[in-house]
Amino acid sequence: MMRRTTGHGWGRVAGLVAAAWLGLCLLAPEAAAHQLEEPGATLRRFALVVGSSEGGPGRERLRYAGSDALAMSRVLEELGGVAGADRVLLLEADHGALLAALQQMKTLVEAAEAPGVRRELVLYYSGHSDGDGLLPRGERFSYEDLRRALGAVPADVRIAILDSCGSGALTRYKGGVRRPAFLTDASSQVRGHAYLASSSADEVAQESDSIGASFFTHFLVTGLRGAADASGDGRVTLHEAYQFAFHETLARTERSQGGPQHAAYDIQLAGSGDLVMTDLRGSSVRLAVAEDVQGRLFVRDWGNQLVAELQKPGGRRLALGLAAGRYTFVLERPTQRFEAELTVTSKGGAELRAEHFVPVTLTRTAARGGEPVTAVADAPMLAVDMPTVPLNLSLVPPLSSTALWGGSGLNHVALGALAVRSLQLRGLGAAGGVGWVDGTMEGLQVSGIANVAGGEVLGLQAAIGGNLAFAGGTGGQVSAVFNIAEGDYTGFQLSTTANRSAARLRGAQVAAGINLTERLAGAQVGLINISGDVSGAQVGLINVAANVRGVQLGLINISDDVSVPIGLLSIVRKGRLAFEASSDDVLPLAVSLKYGSRTVYVLVTEGARLKDRSVRTLTLMGLGVHFPLGASERYYLDVDVGTQFIGGDEDGSLSRLRAMVGWELKRRFALFAGVSLNVYEPSSEEEDPDVSLLPQWKLGRGPDATRMWPGLLLGVRI
């Protein structure tokens, strides 16, 4: 997915030159999150954080605008010196809400005026835009109006960060003025503005499912958490954050479908030094990454959310400001992959060292038409060669044959009475209690209670209690209680209680209880199925998903979008919800509800008819298909099939196939007319000759013979 715009190309060279020039022109005061260096002068920072997924007709809904805004809001509060009372967070705001929020910021900043206090305003926007302005929920907020509204806020420094398509147009509105760096002078008073844009005026700003965020915000937040601290002083300046986000975003988008993405800027500040955006020195929750860790480092929290990504050079110590909790780390190098787990505490933080990592299998790949990928000869590597200990016999992990022989390594057979632990397993693992593999497991793990694999699973895990694979797998997991695969999984998960795959699952999840996965290509079968994007089917009592390319079959179906929803209640956020009033030869008055996807809908009708000088009500339920006619979609064809139960079993039942052509006169108001093919089955006790005034054909003999006839109908849709 990506945020799109149109215009004229910048070119890669221009973007790189812009990044180089920034080192000479970012001008602001040297300030920590709470205290300036000059005596008695303090800083109060305000933040307006906006996320808007909708861009109006013809623009794809963004998946990560809201989560990007939340990530930026958290880092500004945790490390950027923004108090909760000085922050305004807007999600899915329109033009009016954004304008009102800017007025609210003006009031807050005005009230904070005090001698010796420098006031700063940070505006962050993630959403749709084009070359002329922002597009919150499709309503244009021009860059000229934005500059005017920001200028009305009486702040000494205004920082605007726009992560949207063509947002670089804001920076060229007046043109960024490149100025030489000022001499360091702590007594200088800085005033002016700094505008950062995720893309140039003619580029798309892209977001990615693999990182669960937009590229620019992802790397900007990572940089603000400490990855951009090139000087190693525990503070991240605006200059450092921009440089980090610029280069990382460009590197990750050079080969993307949307093309290279160059961040842009417009800096017009009078003052000296670098503006400090985040300060890690006062945070007790810090992760120190040691000098011996080298490679592409990915940091995920215990919920498998990617919170940081960076290229960690060897020989340099790095600090990251993270929330307290358990984290998993992936270190990637050419042909090699390492994983580690570590808890960052609120007192003392933690230190990540090379010894914490264990190697896992990295699939050997080849570029199309090229040679297989190989390691860079001069790149220092963590050692992956390990001793092979063919047989590991264990009572519990400390009392094992590998420990007695003075080491551990790759096992081909690992047998444990209560528990057995291997660094890697390629073969058979069996235990009466728990079988544990730190790295990759290839083969078969069978345990009485649980199997755990810290790396990939290439084979089968079978246990009475549970199976866990934290880096995905290819094969199967069979358990009586639960299965968890925190990564890419190809195969199946079978459990009587619960299955969970935190990333992509290709294959099937089958459980008598609950299935959970972030992305599914295959099938989920269970009482409750919860997934992100689905390509295939969800079958259960309750199905919940984001975008479903396939079928949701259940009592209750909930999704953002779905191809075919089949259930008593299908709630589709991007789908159809229409009310109709109609009249036909059977029901002089009927009210219908159509709900479901944009193509397939569920039909529920409550109708009334006269019989024996009394009013009889009936209910119809069915399934239909909606076909837009023409590009404008003002005309449409609905075809549905349903069954009516007339007055209960004592009267009989009616089934019908209907085809209706509609004409939308205005939005949410249409006229329609159509034909129907009706099949009536009387009860064995009584025939109803007045079910329709139109001619009918009997398909058999006797009073209980089935009858068929064509009918007419017309109505209005709201």
pLDDT of residue 167: 52
* 308 and 354 belong to one structural domain: yes
Question: Does some domain include residue 521?
Answer: yes
Q: Give the count of beta carbons closer than 10 Å to the beta carbon of residue 197.
A: 29
Question: Does some domain include residue 373?
Answer: no
pLDDT level of residue 543 (50, 70, 90 thresholds): very high
Phi/psi of residue 272, nearest 5 degrees:
-150, 160
Number of domains observed in the structure of the chain: 4
* 292 and 263 belong to one structural domain: no
In single-letter form, the type of residue at position 241 comes to: A
pLDDT digits (tens, 9 = 90+) for 297-340: 999 887 777 888 888 888 889 899 988 888 999 998 877 788 89
- Domain termination site, one of 250, 279, 308: 279
Q: What is the CATH number of the domain that holds 235?
A: 3.40.50.1460
Question: Does some domain include residue 347?
Answer: yes
Residues 6+ apart with CB under 8 A from 670: 636, 662, 663, 664, 716, 717
Q: Give the count of beta carbons closer than 10 Å to the beta carbon of residue 117.
A: 14
Tell me the C-alpha distance between 460 and 429, whole Å: 10
Cα-to-chain-centroid distance, residue 104: 30
Question: Does some domain include residue 533?
Answer: no
CB 289 within 8 A of CB 319: yes
* 117 and 260 belong to one structural domain: yes
pLDDT at 198 over 60: yes
User: What are the structure tokens assigned to 98, written together?
Assistant: 């954004």
Question: Does some domain include residue 537?
Answer: no
Which residues, in sequence order, are bridge partners of residue 510?
Answer: 494, 525
Strands 547-559 and 286-289: unpaired
* 305 and 243 belong to one structural domain: no
Q: Give the count of beta carbons closer than 10 Å to the beta carbon of residue 404.
A: 9
Q: Give the count of beta carbons closer than 10 Å to the beta carbon of residue 592.
A: 21
**Among the ranges given (41-50, 87-96, 353-362, 479-488), the one the predictor scored with the smallest mean pLDDT:** 479-488
The more confidently predicted of residues 190 and 33 is: 190
pLDDT of residue 387: 65
User: What are the structure tokens assigned to 194, written together?
Assistant: 């700094």
Question: Does some domain include residue 74?
Answer: yes
Residues 6+ apart with CB under 8 A from 100: none
* 100 and 247 belong to one structural domain: yes
- Domain termination site, one of 526, 544, 567: 526
DSSP state of 427: E
User: Tokens 């479903």 identify what position?
Assistant: 548
Which residues, in sequence order, are bridge partners of residue 427?
Answer: 443
224: containing domain:
2-279
Burial class of residue 364 (count of CB atoms within 10 Å of its CB; 0-12, 13-18, 19+) = exposed
pLDDT level of residue 507 (50, 70, 90 thresholds): confident
Question: Does some domain include residue 49?
Answer: yes
Rg (CA), the chain: 32
pLDDT at 177 over 60: no
pLDDT level of residue 589 (50, 70, 90 thresholds): very high
Q: Give the count of beta carbons closer than 10 Å to the beta carbon of residue 472.
A: 23
pLDDT level of residue 147 (50, 70, 90 thresholds): confident
In single-letter form, the type of residue at position 11 comes to: G
CB 489 within 8 A of CB 507: yes
pLDDT at 371 over 50: no
* 686 and 634 belong to one structural domain: yes
pLDDT digits (tens, 9 = 90+) for 397-413: 878 887 766 556 778 89
pLDDT of residue 192: 63
CB 673 within 8 A of CB 714: yes
- Which of the residue ranges 31-40, 304-313, 550-559 has the most confident prediction, judged by mean pLDDT? 550-559
* 275 and 315 belong to one structural domain: no
CA distances from 88 to 48, 65, 83 (A): 5, 16, 10
pLDDT digits (tens, 9 = 90+) for 48-61: 999 988 888 877 78
- Domain termination site, one of 499, 526, 553: 526
* 51 and 154 belong to one structural domain: yes
Helix 65-78, helix 215-222: angle, nearest 10: 10
pLDDT level of residue 472 (50, 70, 90 thresholds): low
pLDDT digits (tens, 9 = 90+) for 271-292: 555 678 898 887 767 899 999 9
Burial class of residue 370 (count of CB atoms within 10 Å of its CB; 0-12, 13-18, 19+) = exposed
CA distances from 463 to 367, 420, 510, 636 (A): 39, 14, 16, 54
Q: What is the CATH number of the domain that holds 604?
A: 2.40.160
What is the mean pLDDT of the segment spanning 685-710? 78
User: What are the structure tokens assigned to 702, written together?
Assistant: 């006797």
Among 613, 605, 676, smallest CA distance to 646 is for 605
* 195 and 312 belong to one structural domain: no
pLDDT of residue 249: 79
pLDDT of residue 46: 94
The more confidently predicted of residues 380 and 19 is: 19
* 347 and 405 belong to one structural domain: no
H or E element in which residue 603 lies: strand 600-611
Q: Give the count of beta carbons closer than 10 Å to the beta carbon of residue 86.
A: 21
pLDDT of residue 129: 83
Question: Does some domain include residue 560?
Answer: no
- Which of the residue ranges 278-282, 493-497, 636-640 has the most confident prediction, judged by mean pLDDT? 636-640
- The reported pTM is 0.46
Q: Is the dihedral of CA 373, 377, 383, 385 positive or negative?
A: positive
Among 402, 416, 501, 517, smallest CA distance to 463 is for 416
User: Tokens 């004229």 identify what position?
Assistant: 8
pLDDT level of residue 616 (50, 70, 90 thresholds): confident
The more confidently predicted of residues 571 and 454 is: 571
pLDDT digits (tens, 9 = 90+) for 64-111: 888 888 989 989 998 888 998 899 998 888 889 999 999 999 999 999
pLDDT at 22 over 50: no
What is the mean pLDDT of the segment spanning 254-258? 56
pLDDT level of residue 673 (50, 70, 90 thresholds): very high
* 200 and 298 belong to one structural domain: no
DSSP letter string over 111-125? HT--TTEEEEEEEEE
Burial class of residue 498 (count of CB atoms within 10 Å of its CB; 0-12, 13-18, 19+) = buried
Tell me the C-alpha distance between 534 and 518, whole Å: 9
pLDDT level of residue 518 (50, 70, 90 thresholds): confident
In single-letter form, the type of residue at position 171 comes to: T
Torsion of CA 501, 503, 506, 511, to 10 degrees: 20
pLDDT of residue 406: 54
pLDDT of residue 178: 33
CB 58 within 8 A of CB 101: no
What is the mean pLDDT of the segment spanning 152-165? 86
The more confidently predicted of residues 316 and 702 is: 316
* 327 and 443 belong to one structural domain: no
Cα-to-chain-centroid distance, residue 704: 57
In single-letter form, the type of residue at position 623 comes to: L
pLDDT at 166 over 60: no
What is the mean pLDDT of the segment spanning 387-398? 83
**Mean of pLDDT over the chain:** 77
Tell me the C-alpha distance between 395 and 420, whole Å: 7
CB 514 within 8 A of CB 497: yes
Q: Give the count of beta carbons closer than 10 Å to the beta carbon of residue 360.
A: 24
pLDDT at 112 over 60: yes
pLDDT at 365 over 80: no
pLDDT of residue 62: 81
pLDDT at 25 over 70: no
DSSP state of 349: B
